[in-house]
């Protein structure tokens, strides 16, 4: 059973370098495992989805990219992807919300498109969140448009997430009245509702954990719903707890290790045992630091999910592996 049964919009954020895009993609695969149809959106123009799923760069169009994670005997759903391009989103946005056709195109000639998409990030965020709102809110009245059971948004990083999701609130304050205010308020209603969850991806290091804590506090401040924390890139746990302590203070027995190596048919060159023990010490020190950070994450008092660091890097196959872990952990 998922921890987030009511959530339609999963927003995935995280500090740069924590692997938020990988987590967003894995979450989309995991959510699609129940026979559900899922849309994975990206908004930062990096074509990260296309690279992860090894497909051609995505146009501004919903494309089928993968079958969901297979689990049990249930038929998996389908994952579609959408690369939200602000330049293409502007005319669509104007047509959609303000019923502007030709006039919208005239704006382009005056540099309005450029202004909205590259110069004023606030407006850019309005367009991006506007499109996300549209895909989540679709219903049978939108003829021909595909409806999704869940939408996963690979969102801007933690430092910008509140500004990004809250842009409509700011807009509503500036506009004071009129169609913009109305539209902005409707969007904020969805983003603040229990149908939305903002998940934060972190690694067990000081700065990302601190930023995650700050991010959660900021989300609470503006009334945006905090989801779970995904602890990514966790080191392998190849040593037992009692061995870790011994490894840290140099208490491992080199002779015993050497005997085991010989028993396992490994030719023990000079320096091998010392090398292994020194690697173990290094590992133990980092594990201790990780444990300290893990305790801090636990204090955040939100559901947490751990994903391992994969030594060989992330490919399409490993996305399914991570998806299975997220599902087992209860995130999907």
* Binding positions for other proteins, 295-324, rule CB under 8 A: 311-313
List 280, 300, 319, 326, residue binding other proteins (CB under 8 A): 280
Residue 135, interface with other proteins (CB under 8 A)?
Answer: no
Residue 256, interface with other proteins (CB under 8 A)?
Answer: yes
Rule CB under 8 A: which of 1-40 touch other proteins? 15-18
Angle between helices 86-98 and 121-137 (to 10 degrees): 60
Residue 56, interface with other proteins (CB under 8 A)?
Answer: no
Residue 279, interface with other proteins (CB under 8 A)?
Answer: yes
Rule CB under 8 A: which of 211-230 touch other proteins? none
The Cα 229–Cα 300 span in angstroms is 9
Q: Which stretch binds other proteins (CB under 8 A): 66-74, 97-105, 134-142, 185-193?
A: 97-105
Cβ proximity to other proteins, 76 vs 208, nearer residue:
208
Q: Which stretch binds other proteins (CB under 8 A): 102-110, 147-155, 218-226, 297-305?
A: 102-110
Q: In a 10 Å sphere around its CB, with 0-12 CB exposed, 13-18 middle and 19+ buried, how is residue 55 labelled?
A: middle
Q: Which stretch binds other proteins (CB under 8 A): 69-77, 82-90, 279-287, 322-330?
A: 279-287
Q: Mention every residue, 6+ apart, whose C-beta is less than 8 A from residue 324.
A: 30, 69, 71
Query: Per-residue string for binding with other proteins, 59-88, x by CB under 8 A?
Result: ------------------------------
Rule CB under 8 A: which of 188-207 touch other proteins? 205-207
- What is 178-227 written as a DSSP string? SHHHHHHHHHHHHHHSTTEEEEEEE-SSHHHHHHHHHHHHHHHHTTPPEE
Contact 92, 131 (CB under 8 A): yes
């Amino acid at each position: 059973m998922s921890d987030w049964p009511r959530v339609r919009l999963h927003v995935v954020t995280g500090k740069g370098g924590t692997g938020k895009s990988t987590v967003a993609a894995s979450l989309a695969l995991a959510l699609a495992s129940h026979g559900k149809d899922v849309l994975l959106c990206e908004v930062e123009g990096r074509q990260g989805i296309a690279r992860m799923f090894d497909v051609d760069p995505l146009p501004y169009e919903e494309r089928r990219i993968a079958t969901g994670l297979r689990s049990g005997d249930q038929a998996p759903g389908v994952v579609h992807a959408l690369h939200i391009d602000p330049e293409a989103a502007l005319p669509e946005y104007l047509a959609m919300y303000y019923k502007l056709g030709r006039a919208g195109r005239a704006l382009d000639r005056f540099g309005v498109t450029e202004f909205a998409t590259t110069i004023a990030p606030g407006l850019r965020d309005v367009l991006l969140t506007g499109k996300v709102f549209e895909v989540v809110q679709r219903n049978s009245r939108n003829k021909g448009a595909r409806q999704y059971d869940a939408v996963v948004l690979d969102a801007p990083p933690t430092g910008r997430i509140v500004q990004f999701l809250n842009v409509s609130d700011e807009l509503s304050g500036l506009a004071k009245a009129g169609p913009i205010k109305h539209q902005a308020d409707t969007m904020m209603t969805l983003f603040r509702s229990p149908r939305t969850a903002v998940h934060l991806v972190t690694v067990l290091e000081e700065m990302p954990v601190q930023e995650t804590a700050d991010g959660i506090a900021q989300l609470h401040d503006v009334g945006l719903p905090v989801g779970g924390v995904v602890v990514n890139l966790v080191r392998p746990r190849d040593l037992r707890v009692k061995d870790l302590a011994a490894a840290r203070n140099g208490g491992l027995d080199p002779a015993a290790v050497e005997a085991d190596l010989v028993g396992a048919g490994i030719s023990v060159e000079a320096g091998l045992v010392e090398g292994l023990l020194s690697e173990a010490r290094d590992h133990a020190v980092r594990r201790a630091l990780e444990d300290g950070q893990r305790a801090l994450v636990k204090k955040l008092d939100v559901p947490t999910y751990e994903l391992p660091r994969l030594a060989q890097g992330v490919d399409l196959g490993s996305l399914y592996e991570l998806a299975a872990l997220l599902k087992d952990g209860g995130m999907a």
